[in-house]
Structure 1
Amino acid sequence: MKALLCTRLGGPDDLSLEDIAEPVPGPGEAVVRITLAALNFFDTLIIAGRYQVKPELPFSPGGEAACVVEALGPDTKGVSVGDRVIVHQKFGTCRERIAVSTRHLTPIPDAVSDEQAAGLTITYGTSLHALRDRAKLQPGETLAVLGASGGVGLAAVELGAIMGARVIACASSPEKLRVAEAHGATMSVDYAADNLREALRTLTEDKGVDVIYDPIGGDYAEPALRSLGWKGRYLVVGFAAGDIPRIPLNLALLKGIDIQGVHWGVFVDREPEAHAQNRRQLLAWVAEGRLTAKVHGVYPLADYAEALGILKRREAVGKVLLRM
């Protein structure tokens, strides 16, 4: 079978398509045939050896996919041969088939396409965990999303709107803000042109924001934190800007602010049932037509360098998918 392999650390052009042995399911495992694998920005880091997960060479990138169950090992439960399912792994889904524990599989409802399902786990899973499990976002609250057109940011915009929040999209260009507005944001801030703190204060009529969703960090973190209202919640999701900010803790004291870390990968390992419930909720919202799971593009497996290049250059608006 074909697999996209990282045999040496580097960029997308250092990867190669190889023929490898077919997988065999062990106890509690299923062999699934990948139809669409979703790529994420962290895939560009993991193949360069710059990510917290460092697989042994050779390995396949890709942490999520839509697939079909083809074979079951002993003592399996929850799925049957022929089921369409989504799968989540730390890496390894950019190949035609994988053997995986059935606890990492969730059935795809008939009303949900593979294109909608393939990239639903990581970015949307991260954002749902942040907004529901950590911030406990309530209907009518104000949510400001930094990096609102990126992977997790756009997911947070969509989910915040579904959960009944007033969503303020914050991004670095009018084009990116239009994308966020098309997916549920009712207000927006171009932080490349405007003062982020002052703009958020104006939009909330000096009441302050209830929840900040921040996957960016860097110079935007402190002004965003200062824009929070009484008992606001600041979600630390990532540091796409590259710099980890140093926050004056007196800001948290003065307004009773909660600074909440969002480490979705550890949440998945420590609270697998809560993670499974979140995945089922996401799929249900897609089936109901409430969640769109925007797809940037679907590329043949042979075009992996182009697909990863889009992510590396941060040009993606929505999910980038590889068709096996």
Structure 2
Amino acid sequence: MRALTCQTYGPPETLEVQDLPTPIPGAGEVLLRVQAAGVNYPDALIVAGQYQVKPPLPFVPGAEAAGIIEAVGENVTHLQVGQPVAAYTGTGAFATHLAVPANQVIALPPGFPLETAAVLPLAYGTVMHALVQRGELKAGETLLVLGAAGGVGLAAVMIGKALGATVIAGVSSDEKGQVARQAGADHVINYASQDLRPALKEVTGGTGPDVIFDPVGGDLAEPAFRSIAWGGRYLVIGFAGGDIPRLPLNLPLLKGASIVGVFWGDFARRDPRANAANMARLAAWIAGGQVRPLVSARYSLEDAPRAMRDLLERRVTGKVIVTP
């Protein structure tokens, strides 16, 4: 098989494509012929050695993939050769083949687009867990999404609308604002040219957003939290802005608000039934057209480092994929 390999922790440009032995699925595993692999911000952090998980070197990056099962290991009875599936593995997806535990595989309905399936587990799984279990977003509430044109941000806009919320998209350019509007955002705030707090006060009539979905962090965190509604929930997703913010703890006290961490990977491991229910609900929304995942660019295996660089430098809207 061909695979993109990380020999030493560093920038994406240090990765190289190599020929490696095609894995043989062990007991409880399946072998997947990868058709598409989603590219995510944590992929670049893992390659740089800056993520909370550090796989032993060398390794193949790539956390999520979709493709066709080529072989089935012992004790796997619910999956078959030739079946289209999606999988979340943490690493290994940037390759032509991938051996993955069967319990990390999602069987796809007939005709479900593999490119769409490849971007669902991490970004859309994270958003479902964030808004349903952690944020408990209710119909009629107001949701602020920061970084709303990125992969998880755009997913949060669409899923927030599917849950019945009024969605405010926070973006860094007018072009990204247009992308968020096309995804269903009710209001757009360009925080590169507008002051976030007065803009939120105007849009919400002074009450503030009930739930804040923040994958950006950095300088946006404090003004966003200072604008939150009474009893609001501030969802900590990640820190694409680079800096981990420090919020004064008097703010949640004064607002009766909660700072809520979101770690989808551990949630999926600890509560696979709830995660499966989330994904089934998501699949129904996709089938019904309420959620329309955007794949904005496709990269070859050789160009996967450029995909990660584009993600790091925030040149990406929606999701991008590698097609091995």
The TM-score normalised by the length of structure 2 is 0.96
Provide structure 2 residue ranges, at least 5 long, that are not aligned to the other structure.
none
Task: Report what 2:47 is aligned to.
Answer: 47
Task: Report what 1:173 is aligned to.
Answer: 173
- What do you get for the CA RMSD once the two structures are aligned? 1.4
What is the CA-CA distance between 1:196 and the residue it aligns to?
Answer: 0.9
Amino acid across the alignment from 1:124? Y
Superposed, which structure 2 residues align to 1:1-324 within 5 Å?
Answer: 1-324=1-324
Whole-angstrom CA distance in 2 between matches of 1:226 and 1:313:
27
Give yes or no for contact 1:28–1:77 (8 Å, CA) kept in 2: no
Moved more, 305-314 or 54-63: 305-314
Whole-angstrom CA distance in 2 between matches of 1:260 and 1:302:
38
Amino acid across the alignment from 1:113? P
Give yes or no for contact 1:65–1:88 (8 Å, CA) kept in 2: yes
What is the CA-CA distance between 1:11 and the residue it aligns to?
Answer: 2.3
How many residues are treated as equivalent by the alignment?
324
Whole-angstrom CA distance in 2 between matches of 1:322 and 1:244:
29
Amino acid across the alignment from 2:323? R
What is the CA-CA distance between 1:180 and the residue it aligns to?
Answer: 0.7
Provide structure 1 residue ranges, at least 5 long, that are not aligned to the other structure.
none
Runs of 4+ in 1 over 6 A off after TM superposition: none
Whole-angstrom CA distance in 1 between matches of 2:174 and 2:21:
48
Whole-angstrom CA distance in 2 between matches of 1:110 and 1:286:
14
Q: What secondary structure is seen at the aligned counterpart in 2 of 1:230?
A: coil
Q: What secondary structure is seen at the aligned counterpart in 2 of 1:47?
A: helix
Cα displacement string for residues 211-239 of structure 1 (whole angstroms, at most 9, x for unaligned residues): 11111112211111121112111111112
Amino acid across the alignment from 1:177? G
Cα displacement string for residues 225-271 of structure 1 (whole angstroms, at most 9, x for unaligned residues): 12111211111111222222222222212221121111112212221
| Identical amino acids, percent of aligned pairs | 48
Q: What secondary structure is seen at the aligned counterpart in 1 of 2:93?
A: coil
What is the CA-CA distance between 1:171 and the residue it aligns to?
Answer: 1.2
What is the CA-CA distance between 1:102 and the residue it aligns to?
Answer: 0.7
Whole-angstrom CA distance in 1 between matches of 2:112 and 2:31:
22
Whole-angstrom CA distance in 1 between matches of 2:148 and 2:112:
24
